Amino acid sequence: MAKINTCVFISGKGTNLKRLILNSNQYSFPIKIKLIVCNNKNVEGLKLAKKWSIPYLIFCNKQNLSENKILIELKTKKINLILLAGYMKILSRKFIRSFGKSIINIHPSLLPKFKGLNTFEKVLKNKEKKTGCTVHFVTEKLDEGKIILKKFFYIDKKDNVASIKRKTQNLEYNAFSEAIIKIMK
Ligand code: GRF
């Protein structure tokens, strides 16, 4: 099956990346991960790139320089889809426009609620009844692009930041892959 050449951006542990790699190794899953981009050379997620022999790019320079370098690499590798899997930097408008193809992000709240950082703390503080994750297209406005899908769970009285984080991330793993399949249909 023809798979779409994909680049995954990470900043941390890479647990979402791990699920994406495992799924992309399945014949019927529609993406091939050709490149991993990471903005921190010390994170655990990079070990996955090495383990699965996926080319990777680490950058820590000034944003413009780094983004230009990435754009060249994306073109060379004929990347048609970018997945932001726990990527903690904001992509510039210039980068988003220059890439010109789909960029998808996973966010740990039910958007439009709780954009930005510290979502689990905000969920608890606002005494939400439910929370979850959202997969959406990336636009120039933070956490605002068209929503592809959301998954949620009901918050228990005993829940705290750690348990909400764990439950949200468990939903994220399926949500990301389901969203990819959904947009390919
Ligand atoms: C995820 O919870 C994602 O929603 C958030 O960062 C976390 C990344 O985790 N933006 P990991 O690096 O995939 O383990």
Mutate to test the pocket of ligand 1, among 16, 47, 89, 120 (most ligand atoms within 8 A of CB): 16
CA of 106 to the centre of ligand 1 (A): 8
For residue 169, name the pLDDT band (cuts at 50, 70, 90). Answer: very high
| Domains located in the chain, CATH noted | 1-100 (3.40.50.170), 107-133+141-185 (3.40.50.170)
Whether 62 shows a pLDDT value over 90: the answer reads no
Residue 157: both structure tokens together: 């009285």
Classified as helix, coil or strand, 9 is strand
On whether the CB atoms of residues 109 and 119 are closer than 8 A, the answer is: yes
In the chain the first and final C-alpha atoms are separated, in Å, by: 14
Per residue in 107-128, pLDDT tens? 999 999 999 999 999 999 999 9
Whether 107 is catalytic: yes
The Cα-based distances of 123 to 100, 101, 175 in angstroms read: 33, 32, 19
Q: Please, which residues bridge with residue 133 across strands?
A: 151
- What's the confidence (pLDDT) of residue 150? 98
Which tokens belong to 38?
A: 């990471």
What ligand 1 atom has the least distance to the C-alpha of 12? 12
Cα distances from 60 to residues 31, 68, 109, in angstroms, run 27, 13, 28
Residue 76 has pLDDT above 80, yes or no: yes
Cβ–ligand 1 distance for 165 under 6 Å, the answer no
Say yes or no to pLDDT of 63 above 80: no
In the numeric block, the tokens 């780094």 are attached to 66
CA–chain centroid gap for 157, Å, is: 29
Q: Which residue has the tokens 């994406």?
A: 20
Bridge-based pairing state of the strands 102-107 and 81-84: parallel
The arithmetic mean of pLDDT across residues 95-106, rounded, is 96
